[in-house]
């Protein structure tokens, strides 16, 4: 009962009706936008998941050359496997914030189910290990404790959301999926991102250089810049507005 009350209180802080989390499987997906750009012109936050594997330098190089900031959500595994890319990002700390994508890239859900084929953390202890393990890896690699967390699949239960928040992390949702897990083609990804609206939080992936989606992510971001969009990291985005979508 105590866990349920904590979870309901957390949803209340987000301005979400507790009933929203009660249907279906009980798994929720945070949706988040940033404060609109207003008179200064439209703006978006680019967030890139580095789940595992390698680094898509088509995206990273473009961001550096165009001076476009982004928030990188890195797993402990990606950090271990990509020291050169991480060093490059840290050398451009004005452009990149490295945040927490978990220790093992398992969904931070406190019950044993599968999400997009991934087995979840499965328990409160498992969620805690995933979150804290990822944070420790980021802190060791960067010298800075992360403040944001995004779990694998970006889905949670209300109780796991409350647990993550109790550990001291803000949960990063999104409002626009730019590459559908790097599964889209170049044109599809470019078109989606280019159609972003003022205040969107874009999610895409920076760990699949072998897939065509990355070229589209880079092109879509450049198209937004050409339209006059400004880009911010999450910590410079203003107060986010969050909502939950049930699954």
Rounded CA-CA distance 62/39 in Å is 27
| pLDDT tens digit sequence for 61-120 | 999 999 999 999 999 999 999 999 999 999 999 999 999 999 999 999 999 999 999 999
Q: Comparing 236 with 16, which gets the higher pLDDT?
A: 236
Q: What are the contacts of 4-9 at 24+ separation with CB within 8 A?
A: 4/159, 6/159, 6/162, 6/166, 7/157, 7/158, 7/159, 7/161, 7/162, 8/158, 9/162
Categorize the per-residue pLDDT at 51 as very low, low, confident or very high, splitting at 50, 70 and 90.
very high
Percent above pLDDT 90 for the chain: 83
Spatial contact of 155 and 27, defined as CB atoms under 8 Å apart: yes
pLDDT digits (tens, 9 = 90+) for 125-168: 999 999 999 999 999 999 999 999 999 999 999 999 999 999 99
Q: For the whole model, what pTM was predicted?
A: 0.88
Element (H, E) at 99: strand 96-100
Q: What is the pLDDT of residue 11?
A: 39
pLDDT given for residue 15 in this prediction: 32
- Burial class of residue 223 (count of CB atoms within 10 Å of its CB; 0-12, 13-18, 19+): middle
pLDDT of residue 111: 97
- Mean pLDDT of all residues belonging to the chain: 89
Helices (H) and strands (E) in the chain, counts: 8, 12
What is the C-alpha separation between 131 and 133, in angstroms, rounded? 6
> Per DSSP, what are the bridge partners of residue 245?
29
Residue 25 has a pLDDT of: 72
Q: Which residues contact 190 (CB under 8 A, 6 or more apart)?
A: 215, 216, 217, 219, 220, 223
- Collect all residues with Cβ–Cβ distance below 8 Å to 72 and sequence separation of at least 6: 47, 48, 50, 89, 96, 97, 98, 99, 206
State residue 14's pLDDT score: 36
Residue ranges and CATH numbers for the domains of the chain are 2-246 (3.20.20.370)
How far is residue 95's CA from residue 66's CA, in Å, rounded to a whole number?
10
Which tens digits make up the pLDDT trace of 24-35? 579 999 999 999
């Amino acid at each position: 009962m105590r866990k349920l009350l904590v979870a309901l209180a957390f949803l209340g802080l987000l301005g979400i009706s507790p009933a929203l989390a009660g249907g279906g499987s009980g798994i929720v997906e945070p949706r988040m936008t940033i404060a609109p750009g207003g008179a200064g012109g439209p703006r978006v936050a680019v967030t890139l998941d580095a789940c595992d594997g390698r680094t898509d330098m088509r995206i990273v190089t473009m961001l550096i050359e165009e001076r476009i900031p982004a928030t990188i959500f890195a797993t402990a595994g990606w950090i271990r496997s990509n020291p050169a890319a991480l060093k490059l990002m840290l050398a451009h700390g004005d452009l990149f914030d490295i945040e927490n994508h978990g220790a093992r890239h398992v969904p931070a859900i406190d019950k044993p189910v599968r999400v997009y084929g991934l087995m979840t953390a499965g328990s409160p202890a498992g969620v805690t290990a995933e979150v804290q393990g990822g944070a420790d890896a980021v802190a060791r690699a960067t010298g800075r404790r992360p403040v944001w967390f995004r779990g694998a699949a970006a889905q949670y239960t209300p109780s796991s959301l409350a647990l993550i928040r109790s550990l001291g992390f803000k949960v990063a949702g999104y409002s626009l999926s730019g590459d559908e897990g790097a599964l889209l083609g170049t044109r599809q990804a470019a078109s989606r991102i280019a159609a972003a609206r003022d205040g969107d939080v874009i999610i895409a992936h920076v760990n699949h250089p072998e897939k065509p989606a990355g070229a589209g992510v880079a092109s879509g971001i450049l198209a937004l810049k050409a339209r006059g969009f400004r880009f911010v990291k999450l910590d410079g985005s203003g107060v986010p507005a969050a909502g939950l979508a049930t699954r």
